[in-house]
Amino acid sequence: MLRAGCQVLTQTALPAGKTGGNSFALEFVRWRRKPRWLPVAKSKVFRVPERKKQTEEERTELMRLHNQYKTQLRSVRQYLREEVVRHEETSTADHIVLTPEQEEAEFQKCLDLNAAWNARIAKEREARLAKEREEKVAYVQERLEAKQLREEERREQANQRVLREIELSKTYITRENLDAAIEAALANPVDHNFAIDLDGNLYRGRNTSQLTEASPNPNPEPNQQALSN
């Protein structure tokens, strides 16, 4: 674990260290024993990792095999490259070759189709717009009638109020008939000193009028009553 970690630490200078093909034997370290900025441990400073043993015979054999493999792979690659080129030339997967007449016909067909669609949609749209217009006209008419009705009602009410005021104005006390009104009030005194029960019956409770008594010799008692009332 530590050895693999050390390799990772020392190899970080090379960007290809992780992604390169020679990282096959590298152990995948998910969790490191120490942070990467720490130096190599004192006990491991002079440790030299052991190389894998490889005999001369094996080495030459591998060399031969590798040379052979590289040659074979090169020819396979060339074959595949030619195959790809051939395929691209012959296939019509992503580029369909058409003559100018065919292209023109195709374009004309698309244009006609588009025009037909547009015409159909325009018809539908006109019908819809006409219907909407009619609805709007009817709505406005209705609102106008309602407004007229409302106005008439309002005018009627105002007329009635004016008439009532005119009717009432006949009994108003003005500067001209002020003296007559005063005389009439003095001539007809009203006595408000009475009791009312829940049924609305009046109880006058006094045979003599207090007003006529009070005017010749006023005493404190009726004043207090008036105040309390």
Partner 1 sequence: MPLSPASGIGRFYAKSAKIIRFVRLGCTNRPFYHIVVMERRKNQHQPVIEQVGSYDPLPNDSNERLVALNTERIRHWLGKGAHLSTPAAELLGIAGLLPIHPRTYMSAWRNRRAAAEAEASAEKAESNS
Residues that bind partner 1 (CB under 8 A): 15, 18-19, 21-22, 24, 28, 58, 62, 65-66, 68-69, 72-73, 76-77, 80-85, 87
Distance in Å, CB of 94 to partner 1, minimum:
13
Residue 22 vs 174, nearer CB to partner 1: 22
Residue 72 vs 118, nearer CB to partner 1: 72
- Contacts of 220-229 with C-beta under 8 Å, sequence gap 24+, read 225/193, 229/192, 229/193
Task: For residue 24, give the DSSP letter.
Answer: G
Residue 19 vs 201, nearer CB to partner 1: 19
**130: closest CA among 141, 122, 142, 120?**
122
Residue 62 vs 181, nearer CB to partner 1: 62
Reduced to 3 states, what is the DSSP secondary structure of residue 196? strand
Q: Which residues pair with 202 in a beta bridge?
A: 196
Distance in Å, CB of 97 to partner 1, minimum:
21
Return all residues near 26 (Cβ < 8 A) that are at least 6 apart. 4, 7, 8, 18
Distance in Å, CB of 50 to partner 1, minimum:
17
- Would you tell me how many other CB atoms lie within 10 Å of the CB of residue 85? 10
Reduced to 3 states, what is the DSSP secondary structure of residue 202? strand
Residue 31 vs 46, nearer CB to partner 1: 31
Distance in Å, CB of 81 to partner 1, minimum:
5
Dist. CA 64–CA 17, nearest whole Å: 26
| Segments of 167-226 assigned E as strands | 195-196, 202-203
Distance in Å, CB of 88 to partner 1, minimum:
10
Residue 93 vs 168, nearer CB to partner 1: 93
Distance in Å, CB of 1 to partner 1, minimum:
14
